[in-house]
Amino acid sequence: MLWVGSQREFGIAGRGTRLESFLVVAARPGDNMLGTDFILRSLVADGIGHLFLVPGGLVDPFMPAIGRVPELMPVVAAQEGGATYMADGYARASGKFGACLCIGGPGVTNTVTALSAAYTDESPVLVITGEVANYIEGLGFSRMPAQEPMMTA
């Protein structure tokens, strides 16, 4: 077994959420599992059944993996803010955790308003985002602003 940790330990659970379970994915010795499969199976193990996303860029490696995890239903949005609002609406309507997947940089900036609404209303929403490799950061090859300062309250 691979232990990842609880949502509360990672600081991703919304205030007041009842989700306290551990993210655990079973892997037998000798099994090969891609990181994308591990992340998606961890979401399923923690009770997440829908993933709102905008395909493209750093999200593309997840697309084949989503097909290998039939317990997770992808819901495609046209823009990252819309995907985040969908995850928020899903969380509010179902009482379950809402999750969305988007590209880094400009994709993350598109989620800020929806995340602010979810945070203010204590709606449990998780945003998973990609990031360029460290050796590329700051070289002018991408439009990636620093994401951490945008997401700290």
Least confident of 28-32, 76-80, 143-147: 143-147
pLDDT, tens digit, 9 for 90 and up, residues 57-93? 778 889 999 999 999 999 999 999 999 999 999 999 9
DSSP string of the chain, one letter each residue: -EEEEETTTTT-SPTT-----EEEE---TT----HHHHHHHHHHHTT--EEEE--SGGGTTHHHHHHT-TTSEEEE-SSHHHHHHHHHHHHHHHSSPEEEEE-STHHHHHHHHHHHHHHHTT--EEEEE----TTTTTTTSS----HHHHH--
- The amino acid occupying position 14 is G
Domain count, the chain: 1
CATH of the domain at 98: 3.40.50.970
pLDDT at 108: 85
pLDDT at 28: 55
Task: Name the residue range of residue 12's domain.
Answer: 2-151
